[in-house]
């Protein structure tokens, strides 16, 4: 018999907290803070996810760690099978395909072939994990992007298990796990270390988040897109300050806001910084479930459960929030964002001036434009990518892009020769409906051939620029641009040779490919000849007509019938067997050691790096290709490797990743001049960060990181903490931390120390630092005659346990080996 808890929540409680209250009551954890919640309430929570969600580049190191734990269990004389997930986990292989080939009909085939050449060893390991760990399912390469697959197929919304019905609470190792919030599923990104513990039955501890209610009113004006809306929301909420908070959307506009638009907004949750960006369950939710071919019984269950548990959107309900904002959708204007952060929104009408201010020469005369002379110059758009689940999950903007391409081709326009054009959607459904609408040939005429089903350009797997373009950019040190329909545009992320990166809707990506330069006013200047953007921009009625004609549930049935099967390459992989993994001499997979606790002595510590504000996880653990002249590149070449591949593909090898820590070419370390992965060693000489860390280790000197505000923004990348931990970093002293990265630091046994307000700016890192911890969760740091007050950011008793044991994995191993239930 299915059981449920009815009427448990106070009527005023936000829906996100109702879900956490249900979780606490069902699992028997402390719930008083939620039962008695009022605005401003504080407390600690233990959350048990219904499932854990992974992708391959975070999933491989998760499985590497679980395999290493099995080895450690054997070393203790225990059964390795004690290390086995007890919570369902799904892993989607979507982060490994690279846009090597583009602009040709065989781009997909060739890119997939290269993907398997590079990653077959990792994929065999994933097959071993799937066979060995009972609750792990793997979605093979070529199906799409994890969050779009989650939205279109995997998400349950309401879970049925062991005689219970309860909310689908999904925690994932990618920060954009929040995309499923658009479907009424509460979920957020966690670190890989937390994910491992959660898979083994451990709760995820957190501080009760403040809840920000965002009321949406009005309707989007004609000519604007969901992308314009989400860029405005990102700017607004980042400015308001929502880090560590839940955002919960409400208001009259929800009635007409479809799930794809909601999902676009929820996907960008990490860009505005909140933990979650939740949309309630309503008729739009049910329509989407039917549209994506969910069974009628499931749709009925979702509605019944949501209504019974107070999770159904009732516009008349008087819910209470810690903070409240209102956004009128009718004020949204066409926009892009960049050139370095997703919250740097620029109205389309001012993009020309904004872009010109980023170019070395400032505004330039047209006569001096190398672009007009048939080559490239400052401001050239060299990458135009329709990419990422953020927007490719939204049929309206994808059809709009196809119609822009159609109208452009009919007017005789072509993409500029120096632009690398790629199309990499997050679901096979996208290509099915574009093909059914007859739009694919027009996209291909502009060079937007299907390059792969995966994240690709959005995560920096954009491949090399066109050869002649790359040569010109490097030889002339040109400031060039990328335009992509993704969610991240951090420095050094999209393509190492590209300094300016802008987020835009898919139809605007097409427009910039046609224009070939970023410093253009698309509203007043022609794209080419006498053709303006307004001449090829589709009317809303045109888009709606195509959507009505081609979209049907059968598209999703066809795309997802064989989701876990994979192609012949996947099925023919020779996967290892056995309860433990045979490591061998792989340069992709190495057994790490996270089970040796380092000293807690922080006297006489030295700063390995002194960083500023808004340092991202891309700075701390770079993405993209491994440069041959980097420390990691030289290490691999010394081992005889000629195919260096990407950092993402090498995340199962700690020797590579620790050499890549702080390896971003745009890193600004105040201990040295300029940019890049350099610092000062114990002797004061400038050297690589890796060499300095090894020298400090040899000298027995503890090392720390000193940083400013918002340390660790961006992806939930566990290697941004693992790399520093393996280098020997014992603490991070920062003015504030991004939520997921702080948790990752604790999970690796690195102590997060937060300066009290107004302190820390003048800690240069040039002198030794004596750090003393106090019993009241405070600390002091003394350096060069100054004393700094800090707060120890171990926020829950569980985090204190983790730190005492040297991190999550040693803690879990200890508990399992002693026969404790997690």
Helix H or strand E segment including 404: helix 395-410
Q: Is the dihedral of CA 813, 817, 820, 822 positive or negative?
A: positive
The C-alpha angle 322, 325, 331, rounded to 5 degrees, equals: 170
Quote the CA–CA distance of 511 and 532 in Å, as a whole number: 10
DSSP class per residue in 236-259: HHHHH--TT-EEEEESGGGGG--H
Quote the CA–CA distance of 545 and 543 in Å, as a whole number: 5
Give me the residues paired with residue 138 across strands: 91
Quote the CA–CA distance of 495 and 483 in Å, as a whole number: 11
Quote the CA–CA distance of 328 and 806 in Å, as a whole number: 48
Task: Specify whether the CB–CB gap between 336 and 483 falls below 8 A.
Answer: yes
Looking at residue 346, the DSSP 8-state letter turns out to be E
The CATH number assigned to the domain with range 15-330 reads 3.30.499.10
* Cα of 429 vs its chain's centroid, Å: 22
Per-residue pLDDT, 191: 83
Per-residue pLDDT, 375: 63
Per-residue pLDDT, 714: 79
Predicted model pTM: 0.87
Task: Specify whether the CB–CB gap between 176 and 189 falls below 8 A.
Answer: yes
* Cα of 489 vs its chain's centroid, Å: 11
Task: Specify whether the CB–CB gap between 623 and 648 falls below 8 A.
Answer: yes
Quote the CA–CA distance of 635 and 655 in Å, as a whole number: 9
Quote the CA–CA distance of 236 and 229 in Å, as a whole number: 11
Instruction: Give the CA-trace dihedral at 129, 111, 435, 561, to 10 degrees.
Output: -10
Task: Specify whether the CB–CB gap between 203 and 743 falls below 8 A.
Answer: no
The CATH number assigned to the domain with range 606-621+661-805 reads 3.20.19.10
Quote the CA–CA distance of 308 and 18 in Å, as a whole number: 12
In this chain, the answer to whether the domains covering 335-560 and 606-621+661-805 adopt an identical fold is: no
Quote the CA–CA distance of 358 and 380 in Å, as a whole number: 12
Task: Specify whether the CB–CB gap between 131 and 124 falls below 8 A.
Answer: no
Mean pLDDT for back-to-back runs of 10 residues, the chain (822 residues)? 50 95 92 91 93 93 93 92 94 95 97 94 95 95 97 98 95 95 96 88 91 98 96 97 96 98 97 96 98 97 96 94 98 97 97 96 44 70 97 97 98 97 98 98 98 95 94 94 95 91 98 97 96 98 97 96 93 93 92 75 96 94 86 96 88 94 94 96 97 97 97 85 95 94 93 97 97 96 98 93 91 82 56
Per-residue pLDDT, 820: 66
Count Cβ atoms below 10 Å from residue 349 Cβ, excluding itself: 14
Per-residue pLDDT, 233: 98
**Could you tell me which of 339, 367, 371 has the C-alpha nearest to residue 472?**
371
* Cα of 195 vs its chain's centroid, Å: 15
Per-residue pLDDT, 369: 43
What are the structural domain ranges in the chain? 15-330, 335-560, 606-621+661-805
β-strands 211-217, 323-328: how paired? Answer: parallel
Give me the residues paired with residue 144 across strands: 427
Instruction: Write the CA distances from 768 to 603, 693, 788, integer angstroms.
Output: 8, 15, 13
> Could you report how far apart the first and last alpha carbons of the chain are, in Å?
27
Helix H or strand E segment including 323: strand 323-328
Count Cβ atoms below 10 Å from residue 141 Cβ, excluding itself: 26
Task: Specify whether the CB–CB gap between 344 and 358 falls below 8 A.
Answer: no
Quote the CA–CA distance of 89 and 137 in Å, as a whole number: 6
Give the three-class secondary structure for 215.
strand
Looking at residue 154, the DSSP 8-state letter turns out to be I
Residue 302's Cβ-count burial label (10 Å; 0-12, 13-18, 19+) is buried
Looking at residue 119, the DSSP 8-state letter turns out to be H
Class of domain 335-560: alpha beta
Per-residue pLDDT, 683: 96
């Amino acid at each position: 018999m299915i059981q449920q808890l009815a009427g448990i929540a106070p009527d005023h409680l936000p829906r996100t907290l109702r879900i956490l209250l249900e979780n606490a009551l069902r699992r028997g954890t402390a719930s008083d803070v939620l039962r008695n919640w009022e605005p401003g309430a504080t407390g600690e929570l233990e959350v048990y996810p219904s499932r854990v969600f992974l992708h391959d580049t975070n999933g491989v190191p998760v499985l590497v760690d679980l395999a290493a734990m099995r080895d450690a269990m054997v070393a203790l004389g225990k059964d390795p099978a004690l290390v086995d997930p007890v919570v369902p986990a799904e892993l989607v292989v979507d982060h490994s395909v690279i846009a090597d080939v583009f602009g040709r009909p065989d781009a997909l085939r060739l890119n997939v072939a290269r993907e398997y050449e590079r990653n077959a060893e990792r994929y065999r390991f994933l097959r071993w994990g799937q066979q060995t760990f009972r609750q792990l399912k793997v979605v093979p390469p070529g199906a799409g992007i994890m969050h779009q697959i989650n939205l279109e197929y995997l998400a349950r919304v309401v879970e049925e298990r062991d005689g219970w019905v309860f909310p689908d609470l999904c925690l994932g190792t990618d920060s954009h796990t929040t995309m499923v919030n658009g479907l009424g599923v509460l979920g957020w990104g966690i670190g890989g270390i937390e994910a491992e513990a959660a898979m083994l039955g451990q709760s995820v501890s957190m501080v009760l988040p403040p809840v920000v209610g965002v009321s949406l009113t009005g309707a989007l004006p004609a000519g604007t897109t969901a992308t314009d809306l989400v860029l405005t929301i990102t700017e607004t909420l980042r400015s308001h300050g929502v880090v560590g908070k839940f955002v919960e959307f409400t208001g009259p506009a929800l009635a007409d806001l479809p799930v794809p638009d909601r999902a676009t907004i929820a996907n960008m949750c990490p860009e505005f910084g909140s933990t979650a960006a939740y949309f309630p369950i309503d008729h739009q939710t049910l329509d989407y479930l039917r549209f994506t071919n969910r069974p009628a019984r499931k749709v009925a269950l979702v509605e019944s459960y949501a209504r019974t548990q107070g999770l159904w959107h009732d516009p008349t309900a008087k819910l209470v929030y810690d903070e409240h904002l209102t956004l009128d959708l009718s004020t949204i204007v066409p926009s892009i964002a960049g050139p370095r952060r997703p919250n740097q929104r620029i109205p389309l009408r001012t993009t020309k001036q904004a872009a010109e201010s980023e170019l070395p020469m400032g505004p330039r005369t047209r006569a001096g434009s190398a672009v007009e002379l048939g080559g490239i110059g400052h401001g050239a758009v060299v990458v135009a990518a329709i990419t990422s689940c953020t927007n490719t999950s939204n049929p309206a903007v994808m059809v709009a892009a196809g119609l822009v391409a159609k109208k452009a081709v009919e007017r005789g326009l072509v993409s500029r020769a120096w632009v690398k054009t790629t199309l990499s959607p997050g679901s096979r459904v996208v290509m099915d409906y574009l093909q059914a609408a007859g739009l694919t040939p027009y996209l291909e005429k502009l060079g937007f051939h299907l390059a792969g089903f995966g994240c690709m350009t959005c995560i920096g797997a954009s491949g090399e620029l066109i050869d002649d373009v790359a040569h010109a950019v490097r030889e002339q040190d040109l400031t060039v641009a990328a335009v992509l329909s993704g969610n991240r545009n951090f420095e050094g992320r999209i393509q190492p040779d590209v300094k300016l990166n802008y987020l835009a809707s898919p139809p605007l990506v097409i427009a910039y490919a046609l224009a070939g330069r970023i410093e253009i006013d698309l509203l007043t200047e022609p794209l080419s000849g006498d053709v303006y953007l307004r001449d090829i921009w589709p009317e809303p009625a045109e888009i709606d007509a195509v959507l009505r004609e081609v979209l049907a549930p059968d598209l999703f049935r066809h795309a997802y019938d064989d989701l876990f099967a994979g192609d012949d390459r996947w099925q023919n992989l020779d996967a290892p067997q056995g309860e433990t993994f045979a490591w061998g001499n792989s340069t992709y997979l190495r057994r790490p050691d996270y089970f040796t606790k380092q000293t807690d002595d922080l006297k006489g510590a030295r700063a390995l790096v002194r960083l500023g504000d808004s340092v991202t996880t891309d700075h701390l653990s770079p993405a993209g290709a491994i440069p041959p002249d980097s420390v990691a590149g030289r290490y691999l070449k010394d081992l005889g490797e000629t195919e260096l591949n990407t950092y993402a593909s090498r995340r199962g090898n700690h020797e590579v990743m620790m050499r890549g820590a702080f390896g971003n070419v745009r890193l600004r370390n105040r201990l040295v001049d300029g940019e890049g992965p350099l610092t000062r060693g114990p002797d004061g000489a400038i050297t690589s960060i890796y060499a300095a860390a090894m020298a400090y280790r040899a000298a027995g000197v503890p090392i720390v990181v000193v940083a400013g505000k918002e340390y660790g923004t961006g992806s939930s990348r566990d290697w941004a903490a693992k790399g520093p931990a393996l280098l020997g970093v014992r603490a991070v002293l920062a003015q504030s931390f991004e939520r997921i990265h702080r948790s990752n630091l604790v999970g690796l046994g690195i102590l997060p120390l937060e300066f009290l307000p107004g302190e820390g700016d003048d800690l240069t890192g040039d002198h030794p630092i004596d750090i003393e911890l106090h019993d009241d969760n405070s600390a002091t740091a003394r350096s060069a005659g100054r004393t700094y007050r800090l707060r120890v950011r171990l926020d829950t008793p569980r985090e204190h346990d983790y730190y005492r044991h040297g991190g999550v994995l040693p803690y879990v191993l200890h508990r399992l080996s002693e026969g404790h239930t997690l």
